[in-house]
Amino acid sequence: MKKAHIMKNSIKLFVVAAVAAVGAIGIGSAATETGFASGEASSPRSLYLQHCSKCHGADGRADTPKGRETDADDLTSASTKRASTAKILRVITAGKGDMPGFGKKLTAAQIRQIAGYIRTL
């Protein structure tokens, strides 16, 4: 009887510790993935890192597992550099092929900020 009680408590403790650990890992990896300090949470760079780097990579070259899997464009390529801003805005807003559209997730102003940011990659 007593033993069962101790078991229950240690299971509870384990669950609490596991949840805390997952939380900490989550926060840790979110911070490395997006690379922003809290103050610049909505800078063009952090928006890009948050929404685009999974496929296009932090450097824009799409050399990430998801980028290779979806055959994402290298945003530093000559052809993307030549693309008009109108086209870039359209692709980000509506999506293209395996790229989802961000028109519902981001505001038009945020999409313009990201479009400006990828020109600097």
Nearest approach in angstroms of CB 25 to ligand HEC is 22
Nearest approach in angstroms of CB 81 to ligand HEC is 8
Q: Which residues bind ligand HEC (CB under 6 A)?
A: 51-52, 54-56, 66, 70-73, 75, 79-80, 83, 88, 91-92, 96-99, 102, 114, 118
β strands within the chain, DSSP E:
none
Distance CA 71, CA 7 (A): 50
| Cα dihedral 47, 48, 51, 57 sign | negative
* Token duo for residue 91: 């692709």
* Token duo for residue 104: 């519902």
Q: Pick between residue 37 and residue 98 the one whose CB is nearest to ligand HEC.
A: 98
Q: Pick between residue 45 and residue 55 the one whose CB is nearest to ligand HEC.
A: 55
Nearest approach in angstroms of CB 60 to ligand HEC is 9
User: Residues 75, 121: contact at Cβ < 8 Å?
Assistant: yes
Q: Pick between residue 40 and residue 98 the one whose CB is nearest to ligand HEC.
A: 98
